[in-house]
């Protein structure tokens, strides 16, 4: 009997072609076809040990589209010998560009201006924006996306960039205009714009709290396209309402989607998007090409390219 790949993603026959001779592929997300799968491609639902056990002992791989793994209990997967892979390289450019788009949109009052022309009661005084050239950008998290955002802003806008990431070598060479600091407080105290690029883990939950917002210069901006719970959203709302920050650009929230009465949705100095930083045709194509390739690797007994829990290898692949 062929192994089963279960997913709740409607991919084209062309995209799935590399798997056609290796597995039965279920793309309708029918939970009645869930049990007994060898590979599960989850969306955003919590994937804990109980979830894995419901799938059954045939489960070899959890293949997550995108970069975020915060909804998957990786220790539980490793304990069961279940591999977890994702597609971190695929989302870099799209997410970085979206981050820069949020930065410019909030600084230039683009959304507020659009709202005014469409009849919203936005005073002309609320359309006075900020020129970004020469302003300091603080980057929290210098992974793939953080590095690309730093590069774009440094080269295109001549913004001095200050980076904090405790997991990188601060002595490594960096492009001109980019400087490391080992003190996260310095990022918030010196940045005219601060952008967050960390994964959501137990260590990064509410990594950014009210104290950090109070360190920021009056009239500065916060950008977050990582995960909503990395920041204390209530504290952000408070400092925005007080006028301490000039604005914020947000692609993520806590909870997500945000509740209809969330004050962030009614603030003209806040630009919000519904977690779409990676939503481009190029990005989606790269995500699913990578995902299909890695599923094929595991079905052939090979190590997947972007294995998130190497401690589980080879896991059930050899059973």
> 72, 71, 134, 67: which is closest to 96 by C-alpha?
67
Rg (alpha carbons) of the chain, rounded to whole number: 21
Q: What count of Cα atoms within 13 Å lies in the side-chain half-sphere of residue 226?
A: 29
Q: Per the residue annotation, which of 24, 244, 256, 316 is the catalytic one?
A: 256
Q: Per the residue annotation, which of 205, 244, 275, 303 is the catalytic one?
A: 275
Q: Are the beta carbons of 127 and 109 closer than 8 angstroms?
A: yes
Q: Is 10 exposed, middle or buried (0-12, 13-18, 19+ CB in 10 A)?
A: exposed
Q: Per the residue annotation, which of 144, 227, 233, 284 is the catalytic one?
A: 227
DSSP state of 133: T
Q: Are the beta carbons of 22 and 44 closer than 8 angstroms?
A: no
Catalytic, 303? Answer no
Q: Are the beta carbons of 49 and 62 closer than 8 angstroms?
A: no
Catalytic, 212? Answer no
Q: Are the beta carbons of 226 and 141 closer than 8 angstroms?
A: yes
Buried b (16+ CB within 10 A) or exposed e, 18-54: ebeebbebbbeeeeeebeebbbbbbeeeebeeebbee
Catalytic, 118? Answer no
Q: What angle do CA 239, 241, 242 make, to 5 degrees?
A: 65
Q: Tokens in use for 310?
A: 């190497």
Q: Give φ, ψ of 121 to 5 degrees.
A: -85, 80
Instruction: List the alpha helices (DSSP H) in the chain.
Output: 13-16, 49-55, 74-79, 92-107, 110-117, 144-157, 184-190, 210-215, 233-241, 281-299
Which of the residues are catalytic? 227, 256, 275
């Amino acid at each position: 009997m062929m192994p089963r790949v279960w997913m709740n993603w409607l991919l084209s026959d062309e995209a799935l072609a590399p798997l056609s001779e290796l597995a039965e592929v279920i793309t309708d997300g029918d939970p009645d076809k869930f049990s007994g799968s060898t590979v599960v491609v989850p969306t955003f639902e919590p994937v804990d040990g109980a979830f894995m056990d419901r799938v059954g002992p045939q489960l070899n791989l959890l293949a997550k589209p995108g970069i975020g793994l915060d909804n998957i209990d990786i220790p539980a997967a490793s304990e069961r010998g279940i591999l977890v892979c994702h597609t971190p390289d695929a989302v870099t450019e799209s997410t970085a560009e979206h981050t820069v788009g949020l930065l410019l949109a909030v600084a230039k009052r683009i959304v507020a201006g659009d709202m005014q022309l469409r009849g919203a009661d936005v005073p002309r005084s609320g359309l006075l924006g900020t020129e970004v050239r020469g302003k300091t950008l603080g980057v929290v998290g210098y992974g793939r996306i953080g590095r690309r955002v730093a590069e774009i802003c440094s080269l295109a806008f001549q913004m001095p960039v200050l980076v904090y990431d405790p997991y990188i070598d601060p002595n490594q060479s960096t492009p001109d205009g980019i400087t490391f600091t080992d003190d996260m407080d310095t990022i918030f105290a010196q940045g005219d714009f601060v952008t967050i690029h960390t994964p959501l883990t137990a260590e990064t939950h509410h990594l950014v709290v009210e104290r950090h917002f109070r360190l920021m210069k009056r009239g500065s901006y916060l950008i977050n396209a990582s995960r909503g719970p990395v920041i204390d959203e209530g504290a952000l709302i408070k400092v925005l309402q007080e006028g301490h920050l000039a604005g914020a650009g947000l692609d993520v929230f806590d909870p997500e989607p945000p509740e209809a009465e969330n004050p962030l949705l009614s603030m003209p100095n806040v630009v919000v998007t519904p977690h779409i930083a990676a939503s481009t045709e190029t990005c989606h194509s790269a995500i699913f090409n990578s995902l299909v390739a890695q599923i094929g690797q595991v079905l052939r007994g090979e190590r997947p390219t972007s294995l998130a829990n190497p401690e589980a290898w080879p896991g059930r692949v050899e059973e």
